[in-house]
Amino acid sequence: MKTHVVWIATSVVALLACAAGLFVAGYFTHDLVTEDDGGAAVVVQPSPPSGTPSAQPTASATSTPRPLVQASVDDAPTWGPADAEVTIVEFSDYQ
C-alpha cells in the first residue's frame, strides 16, 4: 500500500515539475520571438511569375508621415472610449 502512495506522489511531483519547466521555457521563448528590432519595417515584395523580367523599384522608401484618415462611424457599433487616441476601423465584405 505504501509503495502505491509513493508512486502516486512521485508522479504528481514529476508532473508539476514538468509543467513548471514548460511554463518557464515558454516564457523565455516568447521573449525571444517577440524581441523588438528597433522599429525597422520589413516589406516582402511578391516575386514576379517565371518568365517575366523582374522590375527594380525606382523610388527609395522615405520616412514621410502617413496622412490622417477620417472615417465615419456614425451608425456603427463601437467598443471603447469615444475620446481614444487611436481608432481602429475594420471594413469587411461578407461574400
Q: Is 76 helix (H, G, I), strand (E, B) or coil?
A: coil
Output the pLDDT for position 32. Answer: 67
pTM: 0.33
Number of domains into which the chain is organized: 1
The pLDDT value given to residue 63:
76
Is 44 within a domain?
Answer: no
- Is 28 a member of any domain? yes
Question: pLDDT over 90 for what percent of the chain?
Answer: 15
Q: Is residue 23 part of a domain?
A: yes
26: in domain = yes
Give pLDDT tens digits for 11-31: 999 999 999 999 888 877 776
Q: Using the predicted structure, report yes or no on whether residue 57 has a pLDDT greater than 60.
A: no
Does residue 75 sit within a domain? Answer: no
Within the chain, residue ranges assigned H as helices are: 2-33
The pLDDT assigned to 31 comes to 65
C-alpha–C-alpha distance, residues 11 and 13, integer Å: 5
Assigned domain for 53 exists: no
Which residues form the domain of 29? Answer: 1-36
Residue 51 lies in a domain: no
Higher pLDDT, 65 or 7: 7
